[in-house]
Every structure is written in C-alpha cells, then in structure tokens.
Structure 1
Amino acid sequence: MKLYLIRHGESLGNLQGKIQGTMDFPLSELGKQQVDLISSYCENINLDSLYSSDLERAHATATAIGESTGLPVQAWDQIREVHLGPLQGLTRAEIKEQYPETVKNSIITSGIKGTETIDELTLRCKTVLEQLQEQHSSDSVALVSHGGFISIFLMYVLVGERWPDFHRPFVIGNTSVTLLEWMDEKEQPYLHYTNRTAHLDTLEAEQHAKKGVL
C-alpha cells in the first residue's frame, strides 16, 4: 500500500493564527490557490481511493483533488483534527497565558480537561491503520487530513503506542504531501518523504508552512 498524507490548504483559522482543532474554518484565498496547485499535482499520482476529514478545510481540499483525479471523496471522521476543547479558537499566545502548563508540554498531549486524550488518539490511529491495511493492502490511497493528526499518525506508524514519549519532529505545511509505503502488510513501512511542497513553489511555500498550527 502506498499512503499519501495530504494536509488541507491554508484556512482562515491558520491565517488568523488560531488553534483550530475540530472547529470549522473555510479556506483562505491563499488556501484556495494552494488547493488548485495540489489538485494539479495529484493528477500525476495513480490513486485508487481518496479519503478526507469531514471538516470543511480538509473536505474542500479533497473535493478539488477528487475533481482532478476523478475519484469520489469518502468523508472519514477518524482522520479529522485533534479535538482540543477549551484551547480551540485561541492563539498560541492566549493559550500560553491562560494555560501555562502547555509551555513545557505539547498542547496535543497536555491532558487539559475537554481535550482529546492520548488513549483516544492512539485508538484513532490504530483504527485508521488497520482499516486501511485491511481494505487497501495493494492500493494507492490519499488521506486529506490535518497537521496535528498527520504528525501523530506518522509517530504511531513508526513507534506504535509509545508515540507520546517521543518528540514529534515533523513539519506538516499546508497542502504538503507525505508518502508512506508498505511493500508487505506484515513489514514496517518505508517513509519516502515528508512535507513535500514543490507544487507550491510559485506561492513561496516556505513562508506559509507554519509549524504546529492546527
């Protein structure tokens, strides 16, 4: 199985510097341009299936990819962004001021009441991986998701349930592409590349690949 992990285009929440979590924000004007470019890029990938988070910023991205590839978009709530409860809608500065315990800990694994737990996230990753391997063992599949979930899923694939014990080193920019491949479903996957954004060169992608903005 080849698995392409694609982050959504820039949203208005990204533009405003807000931690979105499961809040819904539409694409920004830049995000729409990014989506046009990732859609063209995906025309050259032989995809068999296309899944998307059910949140608007991801689903709009996937819809454009579906139009360019001729694939139906299958909405999947299991690959939506991490739910961050009371942190959602705040900027990082506001979170730091109101929840000082997040200064030394990732907001994703902070354990603040109302946020998605590590156990819940682990179960989501396990469910996604098992279902993909069961249904698409010989296919090329694209998941259009979110920066937070993609980075956690990558860690889960690489180290399993111990993922919270490790630093997540991945930068996942808007409409970036990450490719994993399982040569055999019983073997560990190969990570071909992460955060590929060459399709955004005309938009000066590096200026817009904001680290850690969910």
Structure 2
Amino acid sequence: MKLYLIRHGESTGNLAGRIQGTDDYPLSELGKQQAEYVADYFSDIHLDFIYSSDLTRASDTAKAIARKKNQTVNEWDKVREVHLGPLQGLTRAEITMKFPETVENSILTSGVEGTESVDELTARCQYIVEQLQLAHRNHDVAIISHGGFISIFLMYLIAGDQWHTLHRPFQIGNTSVSFIEWPKKQDKPLIHFVNQVSHLDPIVDKKKNHGLL
C-alpha cells in the first residue's frame, strides 16, 4: 500500500491565528489556491481511493484533488483534527494565559479537561492502520487531514502506543504531502518523505515578485 497524507490548504482559522481543532473553518483565498496546486501535483500520481476529514477545510482540499483525477471523496471522521475542547477558537497567546499547563506540554497532548486524550488518539491511529491494511493493502490511497493529527499519526507509525513519550519533530505545512509505503508482505511501513511542499513554489515566487517576501 502507498499512502499519501495531505494537510488541508490554509483556512480562515489559520489566517486569523486561531487554534481550530474540530471547529469548522473554510479555506481562505490562499488556501483555495494551494488546494489547486496540490491537485496539480497529484495529476500524474496514481490514486485508487481518496479519503478526507469531514471538516470543510480538508474536504474542500480533497475535492480539488478529486476533480483533477475525476474521482470521488470518501469522508472519514476518524482522520479529523485532534479535538481540543476549550482551547478551540483561541489564539496561542490566549491559550497560554488561560491554560498555563500548555506551556510545558503540547496543546495536542496537554491533558486539559475536554480535550482528546492520548488514549483516544492512540486508539484512533490504531483503527486507521487496521482499516487501511484490511481494505487497501494493494491500493494507492490519499488521506486529506490536519497538521496536528498527521504529525501524531506519523509518530504512531514510528513508535506505536509509545508515540506520546517521544519528541514529535514534524512540521506539517498547508497542503504538504507525506508519503508512506507498506511493501508487499511487510507489516512495517517505510516513510519516504514528510512535509513536501514544492508544488507551492509558484505561490512563493509570486510573492517574491510582488515584494511580499
């Protein structure tokens, strides 16, 4: 199985500096452009199935890819962003002020009451791997998800149930692509690359030409 993990394009929540979690925000204008560029990236890459978080910023990014490939999007709530309860909708500065325990711990695994627990996240990752292995062992699959959850899922693939005890080093940019492969007759995955964003070079070049970078 070949698995492509894709983060959604920039959302209005990203643009406003808000921690989104499972709150639903649409793509910004830049996010819509990014979605088209990542769709172009996949125009020559074979995909058997496209899955997406059911949150708008992810599903609209997935739809851009699906249109390019004349395929359909299967929404899957299991690949939603981490639920962050009372932290959602706040800026990082507001979170630090209201929840000082997040200074020493990642907001994704802070343990603040009302947020998704490490055990719940572990169970979610385990379920996704099991379902992919059952249904798609011989397929090429894309999952459009979210930065926080993708970084956790990658750690789970590396360290299993102990993922949360290790430093999580991954930066996952908007519409970045990470590529994982399970070779035939092997249960352990290979991670080919993480956070590939070369398809966004035209946007970066355009900003440079306009003196915005």
| Range class of TM-score, shorter chain | over 0.9
| C-alpha distance in 1 between matches for 2:22 and 2:46 | 30
| C-alpha distance in 2 between matches for 1:184 and 1:70 | 27
Say if 2:194 is the partner of 1:184: no
Say if 2:206 is the partner of 1:200: no
Partner of 1:66: 66
What number of residue pairs does the alignment pair up?
Answer: 206
Structure 2: runs of 5+ lacking an equivalent: 208-213
| C-alpha distance in 1 between matches for 2:192 and 2:138 | 17
Q: Say if 1:7 and 1:144, in contact at 8 Å, map to a contact too.
A: yes
Partner of 2:211: none
User: Cα–Cα, structure 1 residues 24 and 185, in superposed 2: closer, same or farther, change >3 Å?
Assistant: farther
| C-alpha distance in 1 between matches for 2:86 and 2:67 | 36
Partner of 1:53: 53
| C-alpha distance in 2 between matches for 1:167 and 1:82 | 17
**Paired AA for residue 76 in structure 2:** W
Deviations 1:86-135 (A, max 9, x none): 00000101000110000010111111110001111001000101000110
Q: How does 1:97-176 map to 2 (within 5 A)?
A: 97-176=97-176
Partner of 1:20: 20
Tell me how far 1:187 sits from its aligned partner.
3.1
**Paired AA for residue 68 in structure 2:** S
| C-alpha distance in 2 between matches for 1:69 and 1:130 | 26
User: Cα–Cα, structure 1 residues 155 and 185, in superposed 2: closer, same or farther, change >3 Å?
Assistant: farther
Tell me how far 1:148 sits from its aligned partner.
0.5
| C-alpha distance in 1 between matches for 2:10 and 2:149 | 16
CA RMSD of aligned residues (A): 1.2
| C-alpha distance in 1 between matches for 2:70 and 2:202 | 25
| C-alpha distance in 1 between matches for 2:199 and 2:186 | 33
Tell me how far 1:71 sits from its aligned partner.
1.4
Deviations 1:26-85 (A, max 9, x none): 000100110110111111110000000000000000011110011110000000000000
Structure 1: runs of 5+ lacking an equivalent: 208-214
| C-alpha distance in 1 between matches for 2:94 and 2:168 | 23
Q: Say if 1:46 and 1:140, in contact at 8 Å, map to a contact too.
A: yes
Rg larger in structure: 2
Task: Tell me the secondary structure at the aligned position of residue 71 of structure 2.
Answer: coil
Task: Tell me the secondary structure at the aligned position of residue 10 of structure 2.
Answer: coil
Task: Tell me the secondary structure at the aligned position of residue 204 of structure 1.
Answer: helix
Q: Say if 1:35 and 1:175, in contact at 8 Å, map to a contact too.
A: yes
| C-alpha distance in 1 between matches for 2:47 and 2:123 | 26
Give TM-score, length-normalised by structure 2: 0.95
**Paired AA for residue 35 in structure 1:** A
**Paired AA for residue 184 in structure 1:** K
Please, which moves more after superposition, 186-195 or 22-31? 186-195
